[in-house]
């Protein structure tokens, strides 16, 4: 199980985050995945459908995803990402939009969009905030995989533990959070978000516009076609369309 993104998953996460935002009795949230991966990014069938979307459909789809990440980022209580496996593309965005991230030592990470002729638009505000512009300049443009130790070094993960220590590590952090005043925690989170630079509606609109445009471009279409055709894309000079 790789917890890949599609319309249903994005809608389900949006609904879950809306429900959590309304819960004043919830003092801390843990975002976890089941199976081998935390999230492997886009679902293959969703990618096939996206390749045939009109510009308006692409824009609406991108805005739904951008809104989902914004809802996670704006949850009023502390959110811990419990990263039990690898996280790629949008999955890495989920980790970045959480307040605290603990991951297993065998996890791998990558911002893979440029391999498909796309860009990491919807997740960019959160990933850049987590890892900084310098690391983003590298990983947004190389799409190379990096390990949990590197994820910790650049700020994506706060702690790296063995798989059999993950539950205990998250429970320990939850315990520390529960020692603190609930209203102060929420006020502190809002303070950080607002003083560090909020992700505005205009920024979400801009990122959605950019990914919609590149999905509909010749290069974006070629990247998706090459992926599903199990061939190298044309820009590699090795058998593209």
Helices of type H across the chain = 7-21, 44-51, 55-73, 90-97, 124-142, 148-154, 166-178, 182-196, 201-215, 218-228
Q: Under 8 Å CB-to-CB from 135, ≥6 apart: which residues?
A: 154, 155
55 falls within a domain: yes
Q: Render pLDDT for 189-211 as a digit per residue (tens, 0 to 9).
A: 999 998 987 788 888 888 888 88
**How far apart, in whole angstroms, are the C-alpha atoms of residue 67 and residue 63?**
6
Q: Which of 32, 39, 34 is nearest to 5 (CA)?
A: 39
235 falls within a domain: no
Q: Are the C-beta atoms of residues 74 and 20 closer than 8 Å to each other? A: no
**How far apart, in whole angstroms, are the C-alpha atoms of residue 34 and residue 86?**
11
pLDDT at 72: 98
For the stretch 130-138, contacts whose Cβ atoms lie closer than 8 Å and that sit 24 or more positions apart, written own/partner, are 130/95, 130/96, 130/155, 130/156, 131/96, 131/155, 131/156, 136/111
234 falls within a domain: no
- Our count of domains for the chain comes to 1
> How remote is the C-alpha of 28 from its chain's centroid?
20
186 falls within a domain: yes
pLDDT at 241: 39
Q: Render pLDDT for 128-140 as a digit per residue (tens, 0 to 9).
A: 999 999 999 999 9
pLDDT at 240: 41
Mean pLDDT of the chain: 93
232 falls within a domain: no
- State mean pLDDT over 24-39: 96
> In a 10 Å sphere around its CB, with 0-12 CB exposed, 13-18 middle and 19+ buried, how is residue 168 labelled?
exposed
Q: Could you tell me which residue, 154 or 46, shows the higher pLDDT?
A: 154
Residues with a known catalytic role:
113
**How far apart, in whole angstroms, are the C-alpha atoms of residue 213 and residue 174?**
41
17 falls within a domain: yes
- State mean pLDDT over 93-119: 96
- The CATH number that applies at residue 36 is 3.90.226.10
pLDDT at 239: 45
This prediction's pTM? 0.90
Q: Where in the sequence is the domain holding 87, given as residue range(s)?
A: 7-165+172-225
139 falls within a domain: yes
99 falls within a domain: yes
pLDDT of residue 110 exceeding 60: yes
């Amino acid at each position: 199980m790789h917890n890949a993104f599609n319309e249903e998953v994005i809608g389900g996460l949006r609904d879950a985050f809306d429900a959590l935002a309304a819960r004043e009795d919830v003092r801390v949230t843990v975002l976890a995945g089941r199976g081998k991966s935390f999230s492997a990014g886009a679902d293959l069938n969703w990618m096939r459908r996206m390749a045939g979307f009109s510009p308006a459909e692409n824009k609406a789809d991108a805005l739904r995803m951008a809104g989902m990440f914004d809802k996670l980022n704006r949850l009023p209580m502390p959110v811990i990402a419990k990263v039990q496996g690898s996280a790629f593309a949008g999955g890495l965005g989920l980790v970045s939009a959480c307040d605290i991230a603990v991951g297993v030592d065998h996890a791998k990470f990558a911002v893979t969009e440029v391999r498909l002729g796309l860009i990491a638009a919807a997740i960019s505000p959160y990933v850049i905030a987590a890892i900084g512009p310098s690391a983003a300049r590298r990983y947004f443009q190389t799409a190379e995989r990096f390990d949990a130790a590197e994820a910790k070094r650049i700020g994506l993960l706060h702690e790296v533990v063995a798989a059999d220590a993950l539950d205990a590590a998250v429970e320990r952090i939850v315990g520390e959070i529960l020692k603190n005043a609930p209203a102060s925690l929420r006020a502190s989170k809002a303070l950080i978000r607002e003083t560090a630079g909020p992700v505005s509606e205009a920024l979400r609109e801009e990122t959605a516009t950019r990914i919609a445009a590149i999905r509909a471009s010749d290069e974006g279409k070629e990247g998706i076609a090459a992926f599903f055709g199990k061939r190298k894309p044309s820009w590699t000079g090795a058998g593209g369309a």
